[in-house]
Structures are given as structure tokens and as C-alpha cells.
Structure 1
Amino acid sequence: MDVLLPPHLPKVYGEVMSEMPRDLYIPPDALEIILESFEGPLDLLLYLIRRANINVLDIPMAPLTVQYLAYVEAMRKHNLELAAEYLLMAAMLIEIKSRMLLPRIPRVDEGEAEDPRAELVRRLVEYERMKAAAAKLEELPQAGRDFEWVTVWIADKVVKRQPEVSLHDLQVAWLSLMKQVKIHQHHKIHREELSVREHMSLILRRLQGGGHMLFEQLFDLTLGAPGLVVSFLAMLELAREAMVEITQSEALAPIYVRLPDAVTL
């Protein structure tokens, strides 16, 4: 006759274990109890009340105090740091429980004895309202969690910036001048002293009338290559000292030179 074994008996390698092995060692911390996380003593009390389906206006203090103290003791045994408010609430529950056992003295003005649970009920009702309001606020869309802010920058005034004159543009203009000077070059042999400061003054006098002048118009092609070199050095020195402005409307466009507004001769 087959013997039916209880369905809860464990099996190891296909063999049923009817009793616990004698040499089995279970560490003390092998069984870990996970408690609910509460935001405070009122949250714990509200959890116990709702779990037991108790009316918050008529709280049975004896079983509630026992369950609360059991939770506090469990947290203490598992080395959890208890806040002072948990211990204060435990003392308050014990006091209310003790007052419930004593005969109530009616008030002279109202003729009705004060309920020791009144203050606790008031705090629980207010906490439940605040918790419900916080849950509704949490359901609202939040920036960074449900959506992201999009920022659009609108400029009040758009200023068209002229392209800056690069060194390559000056090099191309210089090579163009060198090609032209070869055409107008006169074969003269003489020695003359050329001054960069003097050519700087000549360029400033040509620009004194105001307005823009073409880059090429500021050079005297009859001076030959040495004169053009000195004039070009004078132009670079004026630009370095911010005594002239060199502009260009677009890439590969003609280069213009003019006096800044702050420069007066």
C-alpha cells in the first residue's frame, strides 16, 4: 500500500526529508525580516488602523497600543535607529490606554467626560488629510520627471556682423599690388630713406576726408616695391594701434579702410 506523504515535506536530490538534519547549521542572521518603512509615528498608527479596518473616530486603544509597541520592539531588535518621536508616541499611547481604564470625571460646564483619545484622533485626521493632499500633488506633472522645460531665446535686435579680415585676405591683396607694381615699375637707381611713421601719416591724411577708401587706393604704385613694403608696414602698424578700421562686406569682397570715430587728427 502506498503511503501518501504530506505535500509540504522538502526533497533533496529526489529524497524526501522527514526531519531536520542534525548537522545543519543556520547562521543567526540568515532569517531577515523586512518591515514597512514609515514616515513617522502617525504614519505607523494610520497604517495599523487601516490594516485592521478600524474607525479612526473610535479607536480601541488596547490592541492598537500592543501592535504599535510590537513594531517598535521589532525595529529595536533589528538595530534600526529609532527617532525620539516614535518613543514619545509609545509613551502617549500607554498614557491614553491607562486613562481609558480609569473612571472619567465629567466636566462641570459641559456635563460630559473628556475622551482621552480626542487629541490623538485630531492629529490622525489632520495627518491623513495632509497625506492625501500630498498624494494629489505628487500625481501632478513635475518638471524634470514628467516633462522638460524648453527655453527659446529671442534677440531683440539682430546686428549684422561684418566678416573679419583674415591674414589670407591681406596676403591676396598684397600679391595683387605686387603684380600691379611690376607693370608701373620704373628702372631708377637711387638711394632713399623710407620711414614707416611718415607713411603712416600719409595714409592718415588720405583718410582724413572721412568715409571708406579702397585698400589699393592708399598705396602709391609709383614708389616701387620698397615704397609699397613700407606703406604696407605702415598700414599694419596703424591697424595694430587701432588708428584705422579695415573691413570687408563678405569673403573675397573688396577691402575698405577708414578712420575710427574716436580718432581725430
Structure 2
Amino acid sequence: MSTRPVGTATRGTTNPNRLRRMDRWIAAAHGRALRASGRPLAVDLGYGAAPWTTLELARRLRAEADPRCEVVGIEIDPERVAAAKPYEEAGLSFRHGGFEVPVDVPPTLIRAANVLRQYEEGEVAAVWARLCGRLAPDGLLVEGTCDEIGRRHVWVALGPEGPRTVTFAARLGSLDRPSDLAERLPKALIHRNVPGEPVHAFLRDFDRAWAAASPYASLGARQRWIAAVGALGADWPLRDDRRRWRQGEITVAWEALAPGGGG
């Protein structure tokens, strides 16, 4: 007997290279776990109306993390699955499903990009718990949001135990100030960007550090970003280093930004 997939269909908006920043972070941050897995399996959950981002995830993980990586695209809309089937190849497939994640082995990675924006904030914790419960012991869930052409991203990385970090990533030339990224906060945080909440204080401090780093602007947005992030690290628990900052990224411990200041 078939089981109805859990969840609701997204708008399906997708564009080639939209998730490149997230993919490259995943390969850098999680590549070791993929390589250590006996069967590295990555799930692209809710890939949308076209399979481009799933194809790109497979290509990038195989090139930058582990050439053995198997990728499964999962969509709750059966018509989208049917449209993606012609793109299947060895180690790349598409399946009908939702948050139940219908795969044969626990995945080493679940990527859920632009999936939870349509849900209520109060529903996020249960979805996270369900997805984390499907992960392999060394698995990672990456859930977040980006704009339509992939210039601005914010995502949360979660292990089987729950949320670990929040990463902000951008094409730096698209920013007037770091708080421009607030519009791409994932559902767990976007309504918390108000005075008294940790994520609001973080973005406020980031803007102040960016303003203080204005003398570096003559050297380019990248140097200004690196200087601002370095200063921010004096007060906030950063979980990455200059190599990632150069990519227009900053990763912060989840507990520092969690709603209400709790983990």
C-alpha cells in the first residue's frame, strides 16, 4: 500500500546555479563525512519544477567531495518527478515523496533549500526533527533560503541531534550592508529579526562592524567583509575561518542566534 507523502508542494521556482554557494559550503564542510561513509547518499528535498539544482548538487559533490556520491531528488509533486526522470543516470535518481524521505538507507546529507518558507514558524521544529531522524549517524541536514539567482543565502546546518550552525553567504557586490541578508533568513529565524532577539543583535553588530571596516572598501568588498567578520568574532562564536570568509560566508553557532537565546 502506498503512503501519501508528508508535506505540501512548493511554488517550484528554480534556476540553474541558484544553490551553488550552499553546495560548495556543503562540499567543504561535510566532504569528510561523505568520504568516510560506506555509501554516501545525498538527498535534494523539494528540488522544484525543474531538476537543475539536483543535477548540479550531484556534479559538485562528486567533483569536490566524493566521486562515489549517490544523489536522489525528492519531490512531492508527481508531475515534477516525471519531468525529471529523463535526467536520471547512474547514481542519480528522482522519487516521489516528502518529509518522510523515501530512500533505502539513511542519507549522509539532506539538502532542503527554499522548502519551509511557506510553512508556519511553529511547524519548523517538527519538520527538522523528522528530517534529522532520517539522517545517518554522521549525516547533515542543510535547510535554508536564497534569492532567485543565488546571490544571497542563509541556511541552518543540523546533525541528528539538532541544529548546529547558521551560515550567511552572499555575492558581496550585491550587499549594501550585511543586514540585507535578513530577507533570506530561514523560517525559524525570519520572524525573529526584531529587537530583543539574538539574530537581530547579530545583524546589528555585523552592520556596525561593516561600517567600521569602511576604510577597506577601497580594496574591494571582499577585504571589507573579511575585516568586518574578523571584528565580529570578538563577540560572536564563529565556526569558520578566513578561507570561508573569502568566499563571502560567515558561520555562527546556532545557540548564539536561536530564538529567545536558547539552543
Q: TM-score, normalised by structure 1?
A: 0.20
Bigger Rg over Cα:
1
> Which protein is richer in strand relative to its size?
2
Higher relative contact order (CA 8 A, sep 6+): 2
